[in-house]
Amino acid sequence: MTPIFELKQVGYKVDDQQILQQIDLTIQPGEFVTLAGPSGSGKSTLLRVLATLLTPTSGELWYNGQAQASYDKITYRREVSYCFQQPSLFGETVRDNLAFPFDIRKQAFDDTKATEALESVDLTASMLTKAITSLSGGEKQRVALIRNLLFPPKVLLLDEITTGLDGTTKAIVHRLINTMNQRGITVISVTHDEGEIAAASRLLQVVAGRLEVSADAK
């Protein structure tokens, strides 16, 4: 099977600071990979490189058997969806946020689809008209997550999206992500959460910009 990602000696450098170095990594389609490591070790940077928000300064990066650079960035980013650590919401209301994925695809807003998405994270359609400033942290995070999932991507890059959430909300988010993974979406998830690390099927450690492969946790 063609790996979904193949990284060969990938490095990322800003000015003189080597943030990522010599990353060798192969990920198969449908895998669920957990990335852990100390703060500032380069986890977010690695996800951003995978998401084409940063271009590697060295090495080779293959996506689906083709050089990442050969893809049209916009198409690629719709397939490889990056969820930010501490996302920001757009516009005024929740609807503005869920409308964005439709807008950029020049499609009309689909109420049913949006409602289903909200329900998948235990929110309701009445949420649509809510002002983004009135949302709780957990609600914000869930709205941001379904914004990435309204048009299901092939790969989901999650940057500590459960950090700061209470147990119940965490469980809701995990449930959705697992469903997505079971449908074949490759998930690469950065986390500091003990539970998530313990439950990881494939755990990778990023330390000082390098990848350290741990023994399989499960």
Ligand X SMILES: Nc1ncnc2c1ncn2[C@@H]1O[C@H](COP(=O)(O)OP(=O)(O)OP(=O)(O)O)[C@@H](O)[C@H]1O
Q: Which residues bind ligand X (CB under 6 A)?
A: 14, 17, 19, 37, 39-45, 85
Residue with tokens 């009309």: 108
Q: Is 109 in the site for another protein (CB under 8 A)?
A: no
Q: Name, in order, each residue with C-beta under 8 angstroms of 99's C-beta and a sequence gap of 6 or more.
A: 109
Is residue 53 at the binding interface for another protein, with CB under 8 A as the rule?
A: yes
Among 14, 67, 104, 171, interactor with another protein by CB under 8 A: 104
CA distance 151 to 24: 30
Residue partners of 86: CB distance under 8 A and separation at least 6? none
End-to-end CA, the chain = 23
Question: Binding of Mg ion at residue 44 (CB under 5 A)?
Answer: yes
- By beta-carbon proximity to another protein, the closer residue of 79 and 122 is 79
The answer to whether 181 and 187 have CB atoms below 8 angstroms apart is yes
5 binds another protein (CB under 8 A): no
Beta strands at 80-83 and 17-27: parallel, antiparallel or unpaired = unpaired
Query: Which position has the token pair 């500091």?
Result: 192
Closer by beta carbon to another protein, 121 or else 145: 145
Residues 6+ apart with CB under 8 A from 79: 153, 154, 155
55 binds, among another protein, Mg ion, ligand X, none (CB under 5 to 8 A by kind): another protein
Nearer to another protein, 102 or 202 (CB): 102
Smallest distance, Mg ion to C-beta of residue 44, A:
3
Among 5, 62, 63, 82, binds another protein (CB under 8 A): 82
Q: How many angstroms separate the CA atoms of 134 and 136, rounded?
A: 7
Residues between 56 and 85 that touch Mg ion (CB under 5 A): 85
Q: Are 210 and 21 in contact (CB under 8 A)?
A: yes
Beta carbons of 12 and 19 less than 8 angstroms apart? yes
Q: Which does 45 bind (CB under 5 to 8 A by kind): ligand X, another protein, Mg ion, none?
A: ligand X
Closest distance to ligand X from the beta carbon of 190 (Å)? 7
Q: Of the ranges 73-81, 109-117, 129-137, 184-192, which one interacts with another protein (CB under 8 A)?
A: 73-81
Give the residues lining the site for another protein (CB under 8 A).
Answer: 51-55, 73-75, 77-78, 81-82, 84, 87-88, 90-91, 100-101, 103-104, 144, 147-148
